[in-house]
Amino acid sequence: MITGTLQPATKRLLTRGTGRQVLVRNLQNNDLWECFQVAEGWRYDASRVGSWMLEETVHFFDFALWYLAASGDPVSVRAFGNQRPGRAQGMYDNLCAIVRFDGDACATITQTIAGFEHHLVVEITGTQGAIRTAWSGTMDRDHHPVYQFSVQPKGFAFERGVREAVHESIAISGEVYELQEQIRLTAQALRERRPLVSSIDARKRVICCIEAERSVRENREIGLSFAAPPPAPPRGAEAGRERGG
């Protein structure tokens, strides 16, 4: 998850010169055919993968909640999805979701796994600027992808801002390289006996995914609640109730 691997300096770079963030827009187009070929196609098996929302889209919810953290927790989600014939419940080939926060901030997530190649676009707009970043490859593990990171910072005159941007350089990008860094950070966290991602943050992302799936099923907007669940009863007390004590 992004929460545990991106450092504060990265967030400052993303936020620089855009003012208060009001929209995060994420689009992904990729093909799961390659994954069908390995591990007996586990990503097509609902009993093992659970759902594509929890296996794939959770990363985009993670980014939205992380980036819009200053707006607080999201308050609702509205999602739409469809799937090819023969898919199990929750296995949506195409998904669109709108996540609303208090005030006027929101995030939109659009994902298809029915397309081809692997393409990702993130657009962020603020009160005083905007950001766009894009990544393209033949698959997610492409060693030679094409990517860019552009910023329209505070201070651009309107005439320039509608057609120009500052193009930042990125040394290297892609799952092939970022997974290596995540493995390094995970090993370091284990040595220091600390979690890489807090269970509280992880739970919020999972709740967003589960409620987005419910929104698709029930065809309505779903309010989000992140209240902590009630504590489990002591094991001895539970056993006593089962014995009728």
Average pLDDT, integer, range 189-197? 91
Band of residue 192 on the pLDDT scale cut at 50, 70, 90: very high
Task: Of 152, 165, 161, give the one whose Cα is nearest residue 17.
Answer: 152
The CATH number of domain 2-242 is 3.30.360.10: yes
Residue 166 · residue 152 · CB < 8 Å? yes
Average pLDDT, integer, range 122-133? 86
pLDDT at 155 over 50: yes
Contacts of 185 (CB under 8 A, 6+ apart): 4, 5, 196
Please give the residue that has the higher pLDDT: either 89 or 162: 89
Mean of the per-residue pLDDT values for the chain? 80
- The pLDDT of residue 114 is 84
- The pLDDT of residue 169 is 81
Q: Read off the DSSP letter of residue 73.
A: S
Residues of the chain with pLDDT > 90, as a percent, come to 32
Least confident segment among 51-55, 60-64, 76-80, 92-96: 51-55
Delimit the domains of the chain by residue range.
Answer: 2-242
Which uninterrupted H or E stretch holds 97?
strand 94-101
Prediction pTM value: 0.79
Pairing of strands 74-82, 222-223: antiparallel
- The pLDDT of residue 5 is 43
Band of residue 244 on the pLDDT scale cut at 50, 70, 90: low
Please give the residue that has the higher pLDDT: either 161 or 196: 196
